[in-house]
Amino acid sequence: MVAVPPSNDVDIFAHDLGFIAVVEGGEKIVGYNVTVGGGMGMTHGNEDTFPRLADLLGFCTPEKAVAVAEAVVRVQRDFGNRDVRANARLKYTIETMGIDAFRAEVEKLVGEKMGEPRPFKFDHNGDRYGWIEDHKGNFHFTLFVENGRVYDTDDYQLMTGLREIAKVHTGDFRLTANQNVIIAGITPEKKQEIETLLTEYKMIDAHERSALRLNSMACVALPTCTLALAESQRYLPELVTEIEETLEETGLRHDAITVRMTGCPNGCARPYIAEIGFVGRGPDKYNLYLGGGHAGDRLSKLYAPSVKGSDAKQILEPIIKDYAENRQEGEHFGDFTIRAGYVNETKDGRDFHKDLIEREVAV
C-alpha cells in the first residue's frame, strides 16, 4: 500500500507492508517512510491473536523501495511462525523479534541502513468524493458506493449508470480501499458527456449523505462469506439510518465519524481502527468497539461485548449526545470516547484485549 499524507485513504497502518510517500516541492516523491506489521485479524477468545498497527521501519529512497519490500518478505519467510497458523502473520513475527531486530535483518539483506523516518501527518482515512482535476488537466470522479455494493434499485440505477459510463469512458475505473469507485482519467473532451450520465443516473450527488454514512464500511459477510457469524454489508446501512436520527438531533450530520462492521473477527473492513466498530460474534450479536483513531492511526477497545444490532442505537445515543455537548474544538469522536472515559486507549496490539472497563450497558 502507498499513502500520500495528509490522506490515509488506504489505511496504511492496517497492512503488512506500506509506503508513506515523502513529497517535496508539491509533487516530487523523495522517498518513503516504510511501515511493517499491521494486520486486523484475530480470533474471538484467543488473546494471543490481536489486531495490530504497523510500525515505522524507516525511510528509504524510491530507488531502494523494491529492495526493501523484497527484504521484508524474505525476513518474514525466514523468521515467520510456521508452527502456529494463528500467529503466522508478519505482525506476530515483528511482535516476537521486536522492530529493531527485524529492521537489522532487512538492512542486512538490502545492504544499507534505513534512514530515520521523516515527519508526516495524516488527518483522515476516508475518500474525497466528487470531482478532482489533476496536474495534467484530466478529471477524476470519486463515486460513493455504499459498502461497495453495485446494484440497481427502482430509484437508483447504479449498475446501469456505471455500465453506460463504461461504454463511453476512455480512462479507467479504480476501486478504492474504502469500497468506492473512482472514474479516473477523464479527458476534458469527455467530461461533459460523463457528467451528463452521472446526473442522469443520480450518481453526481451520491455523496450528499451524512458524514457517518460516507465514512461507513462493511465486509461482505452473509450470504457471501462462509466465515461470517453475523450480517454486515446488508445490515450496516440500516443501522447507520438509525444512528443518523441521533446525529440529526444533535447537529452532527456533517461531522465525520468512522463506523465499520464485519461479520467475524477477521476484520476485513478494518473495524478495529474505526471510531465505532462492530464485529460479529453470532447471529445479530456484535462486539462493540470504540476509540479508534479518526485517521486510522489508533486501535479501538472493546466497549460492550455481544450487543444486539437492535440495541446498538440505544447504546450509542448517550455517548453521541455527550460528544455533541462536551467535545473540545476539533476533537474527533474516537479521541472523545477515550478522554471521556468510555474506553481506555489502546496503545499497541498486545494492549488490545487489556484495560477493559467493567460496566453494565443499559438497553
Q: What residues make contact with ligand SF4 under the rule CB under 6 A?
A: 219-221, 225, 227-228, 232, 262-264, 266-268
Residue 263 C-beta: closest distance to ligand SF4, Å: 3
The span from the CA of 253 to the CA of 356, in Å, is 30
Closest CA to 288 of 223, 361, 345, 210: 361
| 220 versus 259: smaller Cβ distance to ligand SF4 | 220
Q: Please check whether residue 317 is in contact with residue 249, taking contact to mean a CB–CB distance below 8 angstroms.
A: no
| 11 versus 335: smaller Cβ distance to ligand SF4 | 11
| 34 versus 279: smaller Cβ distance to ligand SF4 | 279
Residue 286 C-beta: closest distance to ligand SF4, Å: 12
| 33 versus 233: smaller Cβ distance to ligand SF4 | 233
Tell me the β-bridge partners of 279: 262, 287
| 60 versus 276: smaller Cβ distance to ligand SF4 | 276
| 84 versus 227: smaller Cβ distance to ligand SF4 | 227
Q: Which three cell numbers stand for residue 27?
A: 509533487
Beta strands of the chain (E only): which ranges?
2-3, 17-24, 28-36, 55-60, 130-133, 139-143, 172-175, 181-186, 216-218, 259-262, 276-282, 285-290, 301-308
Beta-sheet strand order (sheet of 17-24): 2-3, 17-24, 28-36, 55-60
Q: How far is CA 307 from CA 82, 211, 233, in A?
A: 35, 24, 17
The span from the CA of 116 to the CA of 118, in Å, is 6
Q: Please check whether residue 59 is in contact with residue 98, taking contact to mean a CB–CB distance below 8 angstroms.
A: no
| 228 versus 243: smaller Cβ distance to ligand SF4 | 228
Residue 6 C-beta: closest distance to ligand SF4, Å: 28
Q: Which three cell numbers stand for residue 268?
A: 476485513
Residue 209 C-beta: closest distance to ligand SF4, Å: 23
| 75 versus 218: smaller Cβ distance to ligand SF4 | 218
Residue 156 C-beta: closest distance to ligand SF4, Å: 24
Residue 129 C-beta: closest distance to ligand SF4, Å: 24
SS3 per-residue string spanning 10-29: CCHHHCCEEEEEEEECCCEE
Residue 224 C-beta: closest distance to ligand SF4, Å: 7
| 18 versus 263: smaller Cβ distance to ligand SF4 | 263
Closest CA to 303 of 283, 320, 288: 288
Please give the DSSP secondary-structure letter assigned to residue 223. T
The span from the CA of 285 to the CA of 306, in Å, is 5
Residue 285 C-beta: closest distance to ligand SF4, Å: 13
Residue 53 C-beta: closest distance to ligand SF4, Å: 18
| DSSP secondary structure letters along 27-87 | TEEEEEEEEE--B---BTTBTT---BPPEEEEEE-GGGHHHHHHHHHHHHHHHS-SS-GGG
